[in-house]
Amino acid sequence: MTSHNPAPITTAMLAEHLLSIQAIIFLLEQPLRFKSGLISPVYVDNRSLIYHPQAWHVLIDALSSHIASGKFQFDIIAGVETAGIPHSSVLAYRRNVPSVFVRKQTKTHGTKNRVEGGDVRDKHVLLIEDHISTGLSSLDGVAALRQAGAIVTDCLSITSYNFAEARQAFAEADVTPHTLLTFDAILDAAVRCGYFDDRKKAIVADWLADPWPWAEKNGIAATAVEN
């Protein structure tokens, strides 16, 4: 009997899964205003992956394979409260390494830790994020880990807008951002699967290239505000 090796997970497969469960939604007719004030025709909610086990299995397999490629040096895998925790915890379990998570704010009681789960002093920690927009929350997590004594050089996210401001912020913090799934692959999958056409793909690509002036330049107002 020959053993069966499953086909490798491609970025196209992963993009299609995220689109199918509406972890990525295009709001070209009803743009959303983020808490930062940025008006966006795209909303990413990778938190919904934990409700869809098939898509979540595909994601964890893809993350695990990416880590196994040897690009990262780490002793511990971390996630930022709250969206990064499910993915980082399952990934650490899969890789059989310790896991910690980073609180957004210091506890006001007990140990008053921001890093929970164990001692990270002098350990290489790989930070897992669900999504990177400006990168500020991720880098705040990096700062908390470093304050606790960890060595943090890399952050791996499921998706990222790849904004220039985020790339600059990561560079200034001496952290390398890695993205499992680029928006080029997502947009290609969206056209291929019929979510929109090439014209609308170009609109989203224009926003990704220069997001802050996009709404004013195109005379667009937000119709909803991010929760």
**Domain spans in the chain, listed from the N-terminal domain onward:** 11-215
| Alpha carbon distance 23, 157 (integer Å) | 14
> Per-residue pLDDT tens for 43-95?
999 999 999 999 999 999 999 999 998 889 999 999 999 999 999 999 999 99
- Residue 5, pLDDT above cutoff 60: no
Closest by Cα among 6, 9, 26 to 195: 26
CATH class of this structure's domain 11-215: alpha beta
Q: Tell whether omega for the bond before 82 is within 30 degrees of 0, i.e. cis.
A: yes
Q: pTM value?
A: 0.92
| Token pair in block for residue 75 | 């002793």
Query: What is the bridge-based pairing of β-strands 124-132 and 151-160?
Result: parallel
